[in-house]
């Protein structure tokens, strides 16, 4: 955290930056608050301050209080555009997450498989593929409950939601624009829809390594399970049955809206700039409403899914603060990003990825695409831009590095990608002892993911 502050401090002292250095303090404060509070809740569940943090209303109050100084600063300097853009991005972000959360909550995979390492690894593999077809949020919400149900009889399960976040909620969604928000933003800016399939080899390498490591880890944990837990797991076996299939129709509506209602199409239809410029978001919310009509809160599917609005409200409340408080950090990075000295693919991979872990990977992706565009324009003839990327004007090696960095390293913290917090919240509701904010980073993501990212760097960059 101190290193990040020092980095932005150096940028902010350069001439031409209108925002003062303290403007990043609310963002760092919000990150610290989330980390400290989640640590207290996980390790001191009976502490009064932990009880305070368990309330989503209190989370909203804290998020708003940290974001308020940034809002006042931007308004006082007449910087309305960054604030409006961030709020629009937040609306699009939360509309998609809300729709996928509600619709997937109406789909229930009934049953309880044996919680063997092979079954759990298969869940991860299926989730990695589904993440590209229905998004990391959709795949996470569809599969996390069956995974939790399958493993509910086991005792050593803390690692399972963590690897689920790694594979299904993040790295899995690297192959199509609908897989993860950064890639979707790239698609809107001119990256061809199927270009991201060129990332298959890094994707399969990272997914293969993660699932192999998970299998070894889970095998060791499985051997240490008590006889009673294994007997109960075998006794509760029940084949999977799909219920609530009508929700796949609403899910299809979401996917079609995301794919076809783009800024270019809105402009062609004469809808740009008015209230209908949010047509895509309106349709997403309409699909969520249709799901609630066909599978109301009292329905069997939602009751068996333990469906509540708690997890999505937690994400919505925390991320309104994050999207607001991170504006100065992103503005400073965009204004002085060229001073970073980033000019090689591996540097784009690690720089975009490192900041994606703490700044939310979608806006960070766009910032580094802008940096790559500026670098390419400033060095004409030095880089080759394939015809497929002529509209975005970024070399393929830079765009690959930025895409992989943003998507892969969104898994490093709970706030790196929207589904991360949702999976944690749902696992907590099911009684799983998920690691707190800092333990997730120090005990899991850094020691597990960083070596894999180094392998990706050595092979592909």
Cα gap 37→434, rounded to integer Å? 14
Grade residue 339 by pLDDT with cuts at 50, 70 and 90.
low
Q: How wide is the angle at C-alpha 41 spanned by C-alphas 36 and 45, nearest 5°?
A: 145
C-alpha dihedral sign at 256, 188, 285, 407: positive
Return the higher-pLDDT residue of 292 and 104: 292
Grade residue 118 by pLDDT with cuts at 50, 70 and 90.
very high
Q: Which of 327, 413, 415 is nearest to 367 (CA)?
A: 327
Q: How far apart are the first and last CA of the chain?
A: 27
Residue 61, pLDDT > 50, answer yes
Specify the DSSP class assigned to residue 255.
H
Cα gap 123→129, rounded to integer Å? 10
Question: What is the tens place of the pLDDT at every residue in 87-102?
Answer: 888 898 889 889 988 9
Judged on CB neighbours under 10 Å (0-12, 13-18, 19+), 346 is: middle
Q: What is the pLDDT of residue 331?
A: 76
Mean pLDDT value across residues 22-30: 88
Q: How many helices (H) and strands (E) does the chain have?
A: 22, 2
Residue 287, pLDDT > 90, answer yes
The whole model's pTM is what? 0.77
Grade residue 12 by pLDDT with cuts at 50, 70 and 90.
very low
C-alpha dihedral sign at 42, 48, 53, 55: positive
Q: Which residues contact residue 227 at a Cβ distance below 8 angstroms, ignoring those fewer than 6 apart?
A: none
Helices (H), 77-158: 80-105, 117-150
Residue 219, pLDDT > 90, answer yes
Which two three-digit tokens encode residue 434?
């998920």
Question: What is the tens place of the pLDDT at every residue in 253-278?
Answer: 988 998 888 777 888 888 877 788 89
CA distances from 4 to 30, 156, 242 (A): 14, 35, 46
Q: What is the pLDDT of residue 17?
A: 41
Question: What is the tens place of the pLDDT at every residue in 384-402?
Answer: 888 888 888 889 999 999 9
Cα gap 196→187, rounded to integer Å? 9
Q: Coil, strand or helix: which one is 109?
A: strand
Cα gap 291→36, rounded to integer Å? 36
Farthest-apart Cα atoms in the chain, separation: 69
Mean pLDDT value across residues 141-152: 88
Mean pLDDT value across residues 1-22: 50
Average pLDDT over all residues of the chain? 86
Report yes or no: 30 and 321 within 8 Å, Cβ to Cβ.
Answer: yes
In order, the DSSP letters of 159-181 are: HHHHHHHHHTTTGGG-SSTTTSH
In whole angstroms, how large is the CA radius of gyration of the chain?
Answer: 22
Residue 64, pLDDT > 80, answer yes
Residue 43, pLDDT > 90, answer no
65-79, 262-276, 440-454: segment of lowest average pLDDT: 262-276
Give the DSSP H/E element, type plus range, for residue 108.
strand 108-112
Mean pLDDT value across residues 190-214: 94
Report yes or no: 79 and 352 within 8 Å, Cβ to Cβ.
Answer: no
Beta bridge partners of 110: 241
Which two three-digit tokens encode residue 285?
């919310």
φ and ψ of 108, to 5 deg: -125, 125
Which two three-digit tokens encode residue 14?
């350069």
Q: At what angle do helices 56-76 and 327-336 cross, to 10 degrees?
A: 50
Q: Coil, strand or helix: which one is 240?
A: strand
Residue 9, pLDDT > 60, answer no
Return the higher-pLDDT residue of 290 and 251: 290
Q: What is the pLDDT of residue 42?
A: 67
Cα gap 417→449, rounded to integer Å? 15
Cα gap 441→439, rounded to integer Å? 5
Which two three-digit tokens encode residue 44?
């001191």
Cα gap 110→146, rounded to integer Å? 8
Cα gap 187→252, rounded to integer Å? 19
Return the higher-pLDDT residue of 120 and 271: 120
Report yes or no: 274 and 385 within 8 Å, Cβ to Cβ.
Answer: no
Report yes or no: 318 and 352 within 8 Å, Cβ to Cβ.
Answer: no
Question: What is the tens place of the pLDDT at every residue in 125-142?
Answer: 999 999 998 889 888 988
Residue 292, pLDDT > 60, answer yes
């Amino acid at each position: 955290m101190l290193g990040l502050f020092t980095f932005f401090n150096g940028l902010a002292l350069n001439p031409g930056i209108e925002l003062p250095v303290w403007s990043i303090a609310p963002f760092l404060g919000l990150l610290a608050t989330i980390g400290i509070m989640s640590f207290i809740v996980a390790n001191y569940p009976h502490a009064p301050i932990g009880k305070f943090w368990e309330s989503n209303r209190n989370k909203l109050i804290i998020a708003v209080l940290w974001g308020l100084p940034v809002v006042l600063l931007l308004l006082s300097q007449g910087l309305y555009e960054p604030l409006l853009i961030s709020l629009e991005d937040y609306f699009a972000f939360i509309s998609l997450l809300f729709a996928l959360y509600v619709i997937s909550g109406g789909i229930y995979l009934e049953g309880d498989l044996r919680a063997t390492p092979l079954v759990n690894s298969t869940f991860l593999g299926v989730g990695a593929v589904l993440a590209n077809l229905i998004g990391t949020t959709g795949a996470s919400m569809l599969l996390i409950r069956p995974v939790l149900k399958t493993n509910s009889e086991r005792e050593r399960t803390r690692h399972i939601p963590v690897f689920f976040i790694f594979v299904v909620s993040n790295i899995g969604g690297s192959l199509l624009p609908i897989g993860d928000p950064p890639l979707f933003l790239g698609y809107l800016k001119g990256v061809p829809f199927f270009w991201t399939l060129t990332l298959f080899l890094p994707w399969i390498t990272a997914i293969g390594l993660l699932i192999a490591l998970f299998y070894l880890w889970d095998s060791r944990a499985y051997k240490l399970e008590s006889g009673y837990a294994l007997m109960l797991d075998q006794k509760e076996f029940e084949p999977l049955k799909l219920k609530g299939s009508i929700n796949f129709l609403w899910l299809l509506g979401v996917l079609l809206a995301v794919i076809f209602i783009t800024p270019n199409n809105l402009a062609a239809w004469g809808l740009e700039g008015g209230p209908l410029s949010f047509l895509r978001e309106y349709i997403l919310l309409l699909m969520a409403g249709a799901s609630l009509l066909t599978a109301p809160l009292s329905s069997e599917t939602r009751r068996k899914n333990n469906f509540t609005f708690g997890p999505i409200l937690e994400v919505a409340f925390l991320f309104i603060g994050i999207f607001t408080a991170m504006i100065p950090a992103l503005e400073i990075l965009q204004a002085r990003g060229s001073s970073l000295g980033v000019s090689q693919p591996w540097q784009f991979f690690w720089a975009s990825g490192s900041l994606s872990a703490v700044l939310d990977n979608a806006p960070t992706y766009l910032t580094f695409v802008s940096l790559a565009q500026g670098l390419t324009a400033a060095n004409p003839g030095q880089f080759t831009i394939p015809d497929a990327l002529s509209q975005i004007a970024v070399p393929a090696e830079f765009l690959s590095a930025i895409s992989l960095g943003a998507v892969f390293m969104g898994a490093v913290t709970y706030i790196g990608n929207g589904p991360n917090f949702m999976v944690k919240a749902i696992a907590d509701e099911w009684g799983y002892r998920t690691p707190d904010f800092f333990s997730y980073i120090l005990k899991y993501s850094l020691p597990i993911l960083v070596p894999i990212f180094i392998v990706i760097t050595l092979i592909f960059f």
